[in-house]
Amino acid sequence: MTKSDLIDRISAIYPYMSVRNVDKVVSIVIDSIVNALRDGGRIELRGFGAFSVRDRRESEGRNPKTGEKVTIRAKRVPFFRAGKQLKDLVNGRIRYEGKE
């Protein structure tokens, strides 16, 4: 599902909201998550999962074309851990009762 697919689905469920307003809301939610992660925070959506940032140390790798050793700089990467309810929904252990 893409961002525009999500906007279309939300607009179909809530027809009284304009597509433009739904787009703004979705963008605000995504921007809030990105900003919190950028600041080193953690976002937890109960039943869905948690977003956090993990630090990767500097490491050594190889250029796949030449085989030459290269240094991979240290970096921060986003990490998502699915919540129990989401795992159960995906595996069919519980039934989804949301709006469609």
Instruction: Rounding to the nearest 10 degrees, give the CA dihedral for residues 21, 29, 88, 99.
Output: -10
**Taking the CB of residue 7, how many other CB atoms lie within 10 A of it?**
19
CA distance 90 to 68: 42
Q: What is the pTM of this model?
A: 0.75
Domains of the chain listed by start with CATH number: 3-90 (4.10.520.10)
pLDDT in tens, 26-74: 999 999 999 999 998 999 999 899 999 999 999 999 999 999 999 999 9
Check pLDDT > 80 for residue 96: no
The three-state DSSP-derived secondary structure of 50-65 is EEEEEEECCEEEECCC
DSSP state of 39: T
